[in-house]
Structure 1
Amino acid sequence: MTLIYAMPGNELFAELLMQHTGYGRAGLSVHSFPDGETRVTVDTPLKGEQAVLVCSLDRPDPKLWPLAVAASTLRELGARRVILVAAYLAYMRQDARFHPGEAISAKLLGEWLDNHFDALVTVDPHLHRYHSLNQIYSRDARLVHAAGALAAWIASHVERPLLVGPDDESRQWVEAIANLLCAPSVIARKERHGDREVTIHLPELGRWLDHTPVLLDDIIASGQTMLQTLRSVCAYTTPKPVCAAVHGVFAEGALDALRGEGVGDIATTNSIATETAHIDISMQVAEALTAVCNIITERRWG
């Protein structure tokens, strides 16, 4: 038997997974004491059950300790396997030592996951210098790709889309979705000057003046990359641009800044619970989770 436990803030996504998989739902609570310490309480699993912890890791630091405590407690209380569903996986962009002494956080997070979870399900992690999640996390990892869901949303909401990638790192998502939609696409060139300072250089857009630009990326965090791309695009085209992304992290003020530039719509998946989460990927995540649970069961009885 498999039970789904939701970390705080992940209840809705856990409910969707339960509906799609038929797995049971169990209780989990996190209490914060006045001194800043945390108490985690879980419904006790039956011995030998599989436990699934649902916790998207946006704004990760306050979440990681309670998550580790929950995983260890479930295992101590008899769970045979503990699986993490983290639709958004943090720290993947810190995948190299860019300056002397910097931590390679992607590698360290992978080691932490190895120590706490038997399997991982995540959605389009930001893999740049790593070619596979298995270079970071050595256990059973399942990647869900959101391109199909984004393409379906764009097809339903945008007439004559022109897909615009803000930098070369967005190319894989832009080209995949452009192929699904049979739509034109362009990739801009980005110069980064700091965490919140970027310059975007767009190619010529004169051929597509009657198309609606869809600015597409995997993550909107500070929003500066999307914001500068939006400003550049608005100088060329009349239709209001649309912003779409897999993960809507949205640092403070990012969403308001985008809206202040006259964007037509902003849509992200529900990998992170946010007001822009119009694209449901829970079915795809549930399918990956079911595959992981079935393989683990087969290994046990095989």
Structure 2
Amino acid sequence: MSLTTTLSAEQWQHDHFIVHTSKAGYLAQSISAVLGYPIIPIIHKKFSDGECYYRIAIPERTSLVGRDVVVVSSIVDDQELLEVVRIGGELAELGTKRRIFVIPYLMYSTMERAVHPGEVVTCKSTVRMLCGIPSSGLGNLFMLMDLHTSGIIHYFEGTVQAMELYAESTLEQAIAENIDFSEPVIFGSADLGRPLWVETFANHFGVGIAFIRKSRSFEDTHVIGEPIGDVKGKHIVIYDDLTRSAGSLIKACNAYLDNGAVKVTAVVTHLSLIDDDVVQKVIDSRIDRVIATNSNVRSQMDAVKKSKKFIICDISPVFAKQIRACLNNNND
């Protein structure tokens, strides 16, 4: 069976390639633009019974033998997870030398421990699935970003390698470009779960900090008491690693403003707003602007792109720099 690919004969001379899951094309394109690695298309089909078909668009069975492949995915749902596992497994079977999995967003990262008897630690079981991808040649390397807790990286076991990268420099640049530090500014939290990150940003810009104390349940998030710190007359820059419903951000924003702050900007690594209704809730809120990365495919929603409230930063250069270093490619 003949197969026409979008790669030219010249592109097939490369030693490094990129593939991506269904929802990560935007990120693969950005990384490819930085590194110059060709993107190999993957043919996807879904049958009426729900079964999925995949084919990596290579002209010959030996096309990838001894080559390095970067697999880009924003794992926002179980389908994306299964695609990573299936595509990664086939790449190993095709004789690739090394596989680098770029996963800036890892679903279930907030389910990293059990609180009640019988609770499944879903984050750990997800990582176990990733570790089960065949590790032939020089093996599998997983690159993640701003994990919800630092211990998640230690879930990766066996012959795989894993590293956590950080969006810190990307966000700091965006903050510097969009926040007026000639006026009183301090960094704040949406809860007490990110004090070190809040302190890191505050130290970088030489300003103070404030915190919000809250309780959380499955049904809702409740902010308790006044903010910790002097917020009167200040522009508060809230940092949180992840937001889905935006409930914590909006309630923290209201708490700061109700206690004398004059403006609130939210800074988020993983913008994972659930749907257009949640995006609209953020737009209608008292938050002045939201600075976030494109780690999650939901940062590409039309409602986000069309709103001036959102400033989306590209984290591709962070991954590209590390990929280049790992593949011993010193070309700029």
TM over 0.5: yes
CA distance in 2, matches of 1:29, 1:201: 54
Distance of aligned partners of 1:238 and 1:104 in 2 relative to their CA distance in 1, 3 Å threshold: closer
Preserved contact between residue 52 and residue 82 of structure 1 (Cα < 8 Å): yes
Give identity over the alignment, percent.
Answer: 22
- Unpaired segments ≥5 residues, structure 1: 296-302
DSSP-derived class of the 1:122 partner: strand
CA RMSD of aligned residues (A): 2.1
CA distance in 1, matches of 2:311, 2:53: 30
- TM-score of the superposition, structure 2-length normalised? 0.81
Which of 237, 242, 246 is matched with 1:219 structurally?
Answer: 242
CA distance in 1, matches of 2:280, 2:314: 23
1:88: Cα distance to partner?
0.7
DSSP-derived class of the 2:263 partner: coil
Measured against aligned partners, the alpha-carbon deviations of 1:85-113 in whole angstroms (never above 9, x if no partner) come to: 01111222211111111111122122111
Residue in structure 2 matched with residue 299 of structure 1 by the alignment: none
CA distance in 2, matches of 1:169, 1:103: 22
Which of 135, 145, 153 is matched with 1:133 structurally?
Answer: 153
- Unpaired segments ≥5 residues, structure 2: 1-14, 305-309
Indicate whether 1:25 and 2:46 are aligned. no
Residue in structure 1 matched with residue 11 of structure 2 by the alignment: none
CA distance in 2, matches of 1:204, 1:125: 25
DSSP-derived class of the 2:328 partner: helix
Alignment of 1:170-249 (within 5 A): 170-204=194-228, 207-237=230-260, 239-249=262-272
Which of 283, 289, 299 is matched with 2:317 structurally?
Answer: 283
CA distance in 2, matches of 1:88, 1:219: 10
Which of 57, 61, 65 is matched with 2:78 structurally?
Answer: 61
Preserved contact between residue 170 and residue 217 of structure 1 (Cα < 8 Å): yes
- TM-score of the superposition, structure 1-length normalised? 0.88
Residue in structure 1 matched with residue 146 of structure 2 by the alignment: 124
Residue in structure 2 matched with residue 294 of structure 1 by the alignment: 328
Which of 104, 126, 129 is matched with 1:109 structurally?
Answer: 126
1:43: Cα distance to partner?
2.1
Distance of aligned partners of 1:124 and 1:291 in 2 relative to their CA distance in 1, 3 Å threshold: same
CA distance in 2, matches of 1:86, 1:200: 35
Which of 61, 66, 70 is matched with 1:48 structurally?
Answer: 66
Residue in structure 1 matched with residue 188 of structure 2 by the alignment: 164
CA distance in 2, matches of 1:124, 1:16: 19
Distance of aligned partners of 1:137 and 1:125 in 2 relative to their CA distance in 1, 3 Å threshold: farther
Bigger radius of gyration among the two? 2
**Structure with more relative contact order (C-alpha pairs < 8 Å, separation 6 or more):** 1
Amino acid at match of 1:293: L
